Copies of this chain bind each other. A is one copy, B any other.
Amino acid sequence: MSTHFVKKFSALRAIGCVSQQLRAAWSCYSTASLVEPQAPSVKTAVPGPKSNAMKRDLDLIQNTEVIQFFVDYDRSVGNYIVDVDGNVLLDLFTQIASVPLGYNHPRIVKALTDPANLSAFANRPALGMYPPAQFAKSLSETLLSRRERGGKPPTQEEIETSLLNTPPGCPKLSVLSFKNAFHGRTMGALALSHTKWVHKLDFPVPNWPLATFPTMTYPLEEYADENNAEDARCLAEVRDRIASAKKAGQPVACIVSEPMQCEGGDRYASPNFFQGLQDICQEAGIALLLDEVQTGAGATGKFWLHEHFYLRDPPNLVTFAKKMLTGGFYYTPDMRPTEGGRIFNTWTGDPSKVVLLKAVLDVVKEEQLLKRATDTGNYLMKILMDAQEKYPHLLFNSRGLGSLAAVDFPDAAARDKVVQKLRSQGNIRNDVNDTVDIRSIHVGLCGTRSMRIRSTLTLEKKHVDVFADRYYAVLKGM
């Protein structure tokens, strides 16, 4: 061997290479084939004794009031979630709508155990400064207001005042949001959220313009005129709020809306309303941000809910999270910052989540899950409509799109009773360590009297049949 070769070889050994060294060791691995249960089953009330004991332990560390039950994530498979008491529930709420393919999906497991991905999990980079080699490619495969100053570079006064939080560097601008909207908990997002006092009380957030989101009357085809009038009334109010804010010296820079208000009660608005909203924004030079955190990633049968609106132009900004596995946003080219470091933080995202997202998007494409979400959603809507026809005093406004569905009850008490019975009522045998075949269905709540269904994209008609069977049984007993 030449000295040159030895030197190069030693350098390679010295540097080391995680994936090369692990590839051999891991080559024995092949994706375990996990089997989804045929049906749910409960052994105990939900939450059961083990969940309750764990809740008492955790309560020593933090407030646990909203905990539903403790989960055995190791045993949860596909559309079925298994709690620590061994109860197996069909999960139609899926971690607040954040599970795209179901629990322990083999493709997610494969991505996690692929040695080529190991360093993405082991070394979280400061992406804005030191990205990995394949980062542009990885972004392309997965994710892809300086207007007031007229695009001019900042003056010395603007630079100095910006550091002191005073105008002109820190201008008095505002963001318009809608009643019943929910956008998050950090200060800016909280200022735009208006669903529950428990989110808001005592927090000093800016008092920005607030407009009314349309309330649709169902069935839509019967109330077309009323709904058109509601759209017009709400759009006029938006115009009015924009004018008032300008007059008050706090002009609107951006309008933020969910394409469908989820936490606020699964409140849909028409394509007509959103087209009008975009018209208003474009006329006034206001950015339109659509918050697709809960509605994106294929949940509605299209990749984004706003694709159902047929807007003339794309929204200026779209935010996402939940089923996308990582939080983020995308934007029109005019929104791109001209200076470096304007949109920045230490980690600027997490490439290990992009590894998993790639697996999700590949499966969505290969298995045509958008089409499946549409088909399964239509099948579910038929069940919900049929039940509503059969129980007209108990069920109202059944509505949905793809994997999202909701139905209203006369009041919160009736809703909560149905949801509780769907989850755990039946012929429970606490004393025997054996399962009893009972339909046990996990769904969510929203608004004041709505039941909310948020399934994975892998839900099939057979799962809906399981739901339908139990739904009718519970309704019959009410």
Contact = CB atoms under 8 A, between A and B. Distances in A.
Interface of A: 4, 7-8, 11, 13-19, 21-22, 25-26, 28-30, 32, 34-38, 41, 50, 54, 57-58, 60-77, 80-82, 84, 88, 95-96, 98-99, 103-105, 108-109, 112-113, 118-126, 128-133, 135-137, 139-140, 144-146, 148-149, 154, 158-159, 162-166, 169-174, 179, 184-188, 191, 194-208, 210, 253, 321-322, 325, 336-347, 352, 434-435
A145 B202 contact: yes
**Residue picked from A30, A82, A130, A340, most chain B C-beta under 10 Å:** A130
Given A34-B18, A63-B337, A186 B186 contact: yes
Given A65-B339, A66-B344, 9 more contacts: A15-B77, A65-B340, A71-B132, A95-B129, A104-B123, A112-B118, A121-B121, A163-B194, A204-B206
Contacts of A144: 61
A41 B186 CA distance: 44
B17 A75 contact: yes
Contact of A170 (B61, B137, B145, B207): B207
Contacts of A174: 204
Copies of this polypeptide in the complex: 2
Q: Of residues A72, A121, A338, which shows the largest number of chain B Cβ atoms within 10 Å of its Cβ? A: A121
Contact of A191 (B135, B165, B341, B345): B165
Given A165-B191, A197-B154, A119 B25 contact: no
B154 A201 contact: yes
Given A170-B203, A346-B321, A11 B124 contact: no
Contacts of A137: 57
Contact of A28 (B28, B69, B122, B170): B28
A131 B201 contact: no
10 contacts: A15-B88, A16-B34, A58-B131, A66-B344, A71-B131, A71-B133, A81-B130, A95-B125, A170-B200, A186-B187
